[in-house]
């Protein structure tokens, strides 16, 4: 029997969430906090200092604005469960509506590589070997996600990070899927979370550039990509590596 969560006297709308690391989850969750009254159950990740410190790279005025609500919008708690199968666990059906977020593969791997080495202090002597291993994990995650979505189209929503950046349409799609009146309009949330406004100026290690094309300027990375040039990303709706 599915457990129901009440916050005050109001039953929370529950959504499961799955995403690969560096696909834009933190950005999406800030957008969601502008759209909905986000709530959470207690878990250890709420006290993760690494996660908490990331917020220091963001514009505090934008964070304040995301907490606002338009006149007349009633409180309706929304719980996005991102830990039903562990942190970045493989997507699996859990009896609730679910959202999967994806991002262009090369940009995702590039972001993960730099966050791992520059923020977390990882040492990666063989970038090509790391790419092969991580791309395998990426493909496994996304294949499972696409399989799950194809079998449960009526209660699954596929989001693309690129679409979130391109305009408010993806946010409107989220609102329709969740079925809750947003406390702030998708248009307003999109406008205030544009990258240049959303982050603070200066050196950042987590919210680095918000640019899917940044890797093209890195000659070392371009050379390392030969290790995965045989991978085919077209099944996920992205161009083949040879066409990038």
Torsion sign, CA atoms 52, 218, 166, 175 = negative
DSSP state of 199: B
pLDDT at 9 over 60: yes
Write out the DSSP string of 48-111. -HHHHHHGGGB-HHHHHHHT---TTPPP-EEEEES-BTBTTPPP---SS-EEEEE--HHHHHHH
Q: Are 48 and 2 in contact (CB under 8 A)?
A: no
Q: What is the pLDDT of residues 77-126, one digit of tens each?
A: 999 998 888 777 888 888 899 999 999 999 999 989 988 888 778 899 99
* Higher pLDDT pick, 179 / 205: 179
Q: What is the pLDDT of residues 45-66, one digit of tens each?
A: 545 566 667 787 888 999 999 9
Region class of 79: left (phi > 0), else alpha (psi between -120 and 50), else beta: beta
Express as a percent the part of the chain with pLDDT over 90. 53
Both tokens of residue 117?
A: 């080495």
Task: Write down the mean pLDDT value for the chain.
Answer: 86
- pLDDT at residue 1, as a whole number: 38
In the chain the domains, ranked by start, together with CATH numbers, are 6-243 (3.40.50)
Quote the CA–CA distance of 34 and 62 in Å, as a whole number: 10
Q: pTM of the prediction?
A: 0.86
Sheet containing 98-102, strands listed edge to edge, beginning at the edge strand earlier in sequence: 37-39, 77-81, 13-19, 98-102, 156-160
Q: What share of the chain is helix, strand, coil (3-state, %, to 5)?
A: 50, 15, 35
Q: What is the pLDDT of residues 150-204, one digit of tens each?
A: 998 889 999 999 999 999 999 999 999 999 999 999 999 999 999 888 888 777 7
Quote the CA–CA distance of 234 and 232 in Å, as a whole number: 6
Q: Which residue is listed with tokens 């590039």?
A: 110
Read off the pLDDT of each residue in 13-33 and give the average, rounded to a whole number: 92
- 173: Cβ contacts below 8 Å, ≥ 6 apart: 157, 159
- 14: Cβ contacts below 8 Å, ≥ 6 apart: 5, 79, 81, 96, 97
Q: Are 55 and 137 in contact (CB under 8 A)?
A: no
Express as a percent the part of the chain with pLDDT over 70. 87
């Amino acid at each position: 029997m599915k457990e129901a969560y009440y916050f005050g006297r109001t039953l929370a709308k529950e959504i499961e969430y799955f995403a690969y690391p560096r696909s834009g989850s933190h950005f999406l969750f800030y957008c969601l906090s502008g759209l909905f009254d986000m709530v959470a159950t207690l878990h250890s990740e709420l006290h993760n200092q690494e996660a908490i410190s990331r917020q220091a790279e963001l514009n505090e005025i934008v964070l304040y604005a995301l907490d606002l609500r338009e006149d007349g919008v009633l409180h309706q708690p929304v719980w996005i469960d991102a830990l039903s199968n562990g942190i970045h666990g493989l997507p699996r059906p859990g009896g609730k509506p679910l959202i999967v977020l994806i991002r262009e593969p090369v940009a995702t791997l590039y972001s993960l590589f730099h966050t791992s080495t520059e923020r977390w202090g990882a040492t990666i002597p063989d970038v090509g070997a790391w790419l092969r291993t991580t791309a395998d994990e990426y493909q496994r995650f996304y294949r499972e996600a696409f399989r799950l979505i194809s079998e449960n189209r009526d209660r699954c929503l596929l989001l693309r990070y690129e679409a979130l950046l391109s305009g408010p349409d993806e946010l409107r799609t989220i609102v329709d899927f969740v079925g809750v009146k947003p406390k702030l309009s998708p248009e307003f949330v999109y406008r205030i979370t544009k990258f240049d406004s959303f982050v603070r100026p200066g050196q950042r290690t987590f919210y680095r550039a918000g640019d899917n094309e940044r890797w093209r300027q890195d000659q070392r990375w371009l050379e390392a990509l030969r290790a995965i040039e045989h991978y085919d990303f077209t099944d996920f709706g992205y161009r083949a590596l040879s066409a990038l």
